Amino acid sequence: MRLVLLSDTHMHHEALTVPPCDVLIHAGDFTRRGRRQEVEEFLRWFSLREAREKVLIAGNHDFLCEEAPDLARALIQEAGVRYLQDEEAHVAGLRIWGSPMTPRFGQWAFNLDRGPDLAAHWQRIPEGLDLLITHGPPSGLGDRTWSGVSAGCEDLLARVRQVRPRLHVFGHIHEAHGEYTLPGLATRFLNVSNCRLMPFGVRPPLVVELEPRSPRSTTDGGPEEGGASVA
């Protein structure tokens, strides 16, 4: 099964070439400032991509999704897109859970204070996921800024260690694009930010092959879970 992964397109989506796929996923920051016009413009483009299923979460720039959640959800659903805001969906045989939350920084959308607030929030992530989508990265994995700051969330990393999704997809930190692993953990961590920080421009979407679990699969990250590969 082919997954195409996007994040942090910030209204530069027209510059991307999205290959046909089974599931098209966007990990948030599809707008610059979350205005309704931006949301509608992005959705017109996103809805026309050649994909059997489309999944979207918001990011810290996507203010409409926080300030007018019913309107945003209606617009997204009318475009034929699955919208996840701290919830799970079964998509093309995959268990997926998505969240827009990131540690507080400035006056952005979907921010929570580090510590108990975020730790309690991440406890909602269930076990047995094929794919976890968060806008922001876990601590130490795809989270280093140009200034050398590790901006990821420690409590998110702790929860991922517990629930062990097969893939953890995120963005938010544009300059930390790439794949990351942790010793002893089968989870693959993918920062799929499309917009570059320096130099400016966009990166192509990341394509991943991921098969649904077989009925005999386990949830402990072992070899029975099935593999995932970058196409």
| Domain boundaries along the sequence of the chain | 2-230
Question: pTM of the full predicted structure?
Answer: 0.92
The per-residue pLDDT for 216 is 52
Q: How many CA atoms lie within 13 A of 26 on its CB side?
A: 31
What SS3 class is residue 122? Answer: helix
The per-residue pLDDT for 223 is 37
The per-residue pLDDT for 197 is 83
- Give dist(CA 139, CA 110) in Å, integer: 18
The per-residue pLDDT for 149 is 84
The per-residue pLDDT for 146 is 87
- 186 exposure class (CB count in 10 Å sphere: 0-12, 13-18, 19+): middle
- Give dist(CA 147, CA 144) in Å, integer: 8
Q: How many CA atoms lie within 13 A of 183 on its CB side?
A: 0
Instruction: Quickly count: other Cβ atoms within 10 Å of residue 221's Cβ.
Output: 15
Residues of the chain with pLDDT under 50: 218-226
Q: Rounded to the nearest 10 degrees, how much is the dihedral formed by the CA atoms of 101, 94, 70, 135?
A: 20
Q: Which pLDDT tens digit goes with each residue over 3-13?
A: 999 999 999 99
- Give dist(CA 228, CA 231) in Å, integer: 9
Please provide the CATH number assigned to the domain covering 2-230.
Answer: 3.60.21.10
